[in-house]
Amino acid sequence: MSRFYLSLVMLLSLFSFSSFAEGISTHILDLSSGVGGKDVPVILEMANKKGAWSQVASGVTDGNGRIKSFGESFKARAGKYKLVFDMTKYSGSKADPFFPEISVVFNVTDENLHYHVPVVVSPYGYSTYRGN
């Protein structure tokens, strides 16, 4: 690979990383089918100092089950957040899913980091973790 292309690849990877930092993203992976959970509405909420929740952003998972960003205007601040997944809209689930809503509560401690919080689903269970 020429030095020019190698430099270009390195520059693009740095740009991609920096544009992906400082935020919150998520995705849904369906274990029963092995594919992403597309078209699922997700609400992002933040708790205030008294513990009351308010919506700060929302999105819908793409064809691969991802929300890469909650918009350019959203920047995560330190605090407690909640992702609320409306699983009744997921086409891979039954008409009346066992878990119609999945809520995941997590802390943002460093505003300069990216927080990727995915859920892995199956018809009768789900799991979550801090991704990268």
73: in domain: yes
Alpha-carbon gap, residue 51 to 40, rounded angstroms: 26
**CATH number of the CATH domain containing 55:** 2.60.40.180
61: in domain: yes
pLDDT of 14 over the 80 cut: no
Domain total in the chain: 1
pLDDT of residue 12: 38
Alpha-carbon gap, residue 61 to 39, rounded angstroms: 5
10: in domain: no
pLDDT digits (tens, 9 = 90+) for 36-80: 999 999 999 999 999 999 999 999 999 999 999 998 888 899 999
Q: 93 lies in which domain range?
A: 22-128
* pLDDT (mean) for 108-119: 95
76: in domain: yes
121: in domain: yes
pLDDT of residue 19: 38
3: in domain: no
List the strands of the sheet with 41-47, edge to edge.
53-60, 41-47, 79-86, 101-108
* pLDDT (mean) for 99-115: 95
Q: The pTM is what?
A: 0.81
Q: Does 56 or 14 have the greater pLDDT score?
A: 56
103: in domain: yes
What is the CA 118 to chain-centroid distance, rounded?
A: 6
53: in domain: yes
Alpha-carbon gap, residue 54 to 130, rounded angstroms: 22
Encoding tokens for residue 88?
């009744």
Phi/psi at 69 (5° precision): -155, 150
Lowest mean pLDDT among 1-10, 12-21, 103-112: 12-21
